[in-house]
């Protein structure tokens, strides 16, 4: 019987060898585990190793006798898997981490390479001074952890922040150096540190109450689920995983939706009886929110991805008297709707995801500097394509889960400058916090 650690190693090895997104196989592997604790451990290990790859490699480079780039890919995966447990998880004894990791490596690569894994991980253990200190004190020795504590090493492990501030942060907070230095320039060091800390943290489980929030709190408490009020009038932060919420979601009492995402649909201000377009609608969280606010009317959910759009269709049974129409649209060119058809439009544009990196653990490593420019072009064209569909007096909301000005304020400013009759009524950029993700929205009104 393959354990959660074995499955995590297998998934991570495939990811390292092929570049395949771990999310594509993780859910299937979770179903092979009967115990919910094992499913949780599998997710923690896979997401944690991918998220912390930069920090893990920095530390492992200090104890590996060979450059990491020259190691067998399976050996490197084993080192990362073992190091993650030693540095970031507290409940598993060190000897158990070593035994299970070395056994996994031996199964895949043989005893000689497994011996290398064993030696390097033991070297890592000898380098640790204190497994847990309550706060970061020395930026050259202290490795931050998601709960705000830190691991302290005996010797300097990270770049000198006085000489290479961006590299030091990239190594310790596990983000690409170019992105850290970009934020340092655009946000300043204090804000960048806060964003990096959020990117390291485990994402909160946040739901939107579709009934009175106090009623939902009572229902969750009756089921033994601990929750507290979050940011926004309908947000609840839930302890544990989404798996405990199946009943309240199925009954239409709640929807999993981050607090920042919950801000968007109310800014659209959909009214009963109106015709509303949700462009880029999949997987449907904002479409469902629009329907809840409308109560009745016509909601067109459009997307380029037919498979993902089916998830929106599945939500229609809880949308009450709202008529849901799903439509596949082309990625470029005119949209298949008549001009001035819609009273309200939401353009939830594809973006760099820099406001939600803790949720999309692979995004930070896939993103390149030039991608932001490419995405800004796509975002601008989406606005240009959607605007003719809006009726005079109507409202269009543009939103992203990015914190980059090129994808946000710059898009809004360029659109206003190029579009007669458009007025920027409001805009808001939110940065990641313990209870909410980062993102942006702009509200345009058509005269």
Residues 6+ apart with CB under 8 A from 398: 347, 349, 379, 383, 411, 412, 415, 441, 442, 444
For residue 177, what is the DSSP state? H
Strands 275-279 and 296-303: parallel
Burial 284-316 (b: 16+ CB within 10 A, else e): bbbbbbbbbbbeebbbbbbbeeeeebebbeebb
Of the candidates 169, 126, 135, 131, the one whose C-alpha atom is nearest the C-alpha of residue 151 is 131
| Tokens encoding 445 | 């009104």
| Tokens encoding 377 | 């072009």
- Catalytic option among 401, 411, 436, 443: 401
CA 276, 392, 297: angle at the middle one, nearest 5?
Answer: 25
238, 227 contact by CB (below 8 A): yes
The residue assigned the tokens 């944690």 is 48
* Residue 401 annotated in active site: yes
For residue 143, what is the DSSP state? E
Residues 6+ apart with CB under 8 A from 218: none
Q: Name the β-bridge partners of 299.
A: 276, 324
264, 346 contact by CB (below 8 A): yes
Report how far residue 94's alpha carbon sits from residue 98's, in angstroms, rounded to the nearest whole number. Answer: 6
Backbone angles phi and psi of 219, in degrees to 5: -65, -45
| Tokens encoding 392 | 């005079």
| Tokens encoding 286 | 């904002």
Is cis: bond before 72, omega within 30 of 0?
A: no
97, 74 contact by CB (below 8 A): no
CB count within 10 Å of CB 370 equals 8
Cα–Cα distances (Å) from 412 to 51, 276, 351, 394, 409, in that order, read 31, 21, 14, 17, 5
Torsion angle (degrees, nearest 10) of CA 197, 198, 202, 205 = 160
10, 25 contact by CB (below 8 A): no
Report how far residue 402's alpha carbon sits from residue 440's, in angstroms, rounded to the nearest whole number. Answer: 7
Point out the residues that are catalytic: 401
């Amino acid at each position: 019987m393959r354990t959660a650690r074995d499955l995590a190693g297998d998934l991570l090895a495939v990811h390292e060898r092929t570049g395949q997104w771990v999310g594509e196989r993780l859910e299937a592997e979770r179903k092979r585990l009967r115990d919910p604790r094992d499913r949780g451990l599998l997710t923690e290990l896979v997401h944690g190793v991918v998220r912390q790859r930069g920090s893990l490699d920095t530390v492992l480079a200090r104890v590996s006798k060979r450059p990491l780039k020259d190691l067998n890919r399976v050996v490197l995966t084993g080192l990362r898997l073992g190091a993650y447990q030693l540095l970031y998880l507290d409940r598993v004894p060190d000897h158990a981490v070593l035994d299970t990791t070395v056994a996994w490596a031996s199964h895949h690569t043989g005893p000689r390479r497994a011996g290398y894994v064993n030696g390097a991980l033991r070297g890592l253990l000898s380098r640790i001074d204190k497994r847990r200190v309550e706060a970061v004190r020395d930026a050259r020795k202290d490795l931050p952890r998601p709960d705000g504590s830190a691991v302290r090493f005996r010797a300097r492990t990270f770049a000198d922040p006085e000489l290479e501030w961006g590299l030091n942060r990239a190594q310790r907070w596990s983000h690409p150096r170019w992105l850290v230095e970009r934020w340092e320039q655009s946000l300043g060091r204090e804000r960048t540190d806060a964003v990096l800390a959020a990117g390291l943290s485990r994402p909160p489980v946040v739901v939107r109450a579709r009934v009175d929030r106090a009623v939902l709190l009572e229902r969750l408490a009756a089921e033994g689920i601990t929750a507290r009020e979050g940011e926004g009038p309908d947000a609840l932060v839930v302890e544990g995983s989404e798996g405990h919420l199946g009943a309240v979601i199925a009954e239409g009492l709640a929807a999993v939706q981050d607090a920042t995402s919950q801000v968007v649909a109310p800014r659209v201000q959909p009214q009963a009886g109106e015709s509303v377009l949700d462009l880029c609608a999949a997987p449907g969280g904002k479409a469902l929110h629009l329907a809840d606010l409308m109560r009745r009317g016509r909601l067109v959910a459009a997307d380029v991805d037919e498979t993902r759009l089916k998830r929106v269709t599945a939500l229609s049974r809880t949308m009450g008297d709202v008529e849901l129409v799903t439509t596949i649209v082309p990625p470029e060119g005119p949209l298949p709707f008549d001009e001035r058809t819609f009273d309200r439009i939401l353009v939830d544009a594809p973006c760099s995801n820099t406001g939600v990196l803790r949720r999309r653990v692979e995004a930070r490593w896939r993103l390149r500097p030039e991608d932001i420019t490419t995405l800004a072009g796509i975002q601008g064209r989406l606005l240009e394509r959607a605007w003719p569909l809006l009726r005079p007096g109507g409202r269009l909301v543009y939103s992203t889960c990015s914190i980059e000005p090129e994808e946000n304020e710059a898009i809004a400013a360029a659109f206003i400058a190029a579009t007669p009759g458009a007025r920027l009524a409001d805009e808001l950029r939110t940065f990641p916090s313990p209870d909410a993700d980062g993102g942006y929205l702009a509200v345009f009104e058509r005269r």
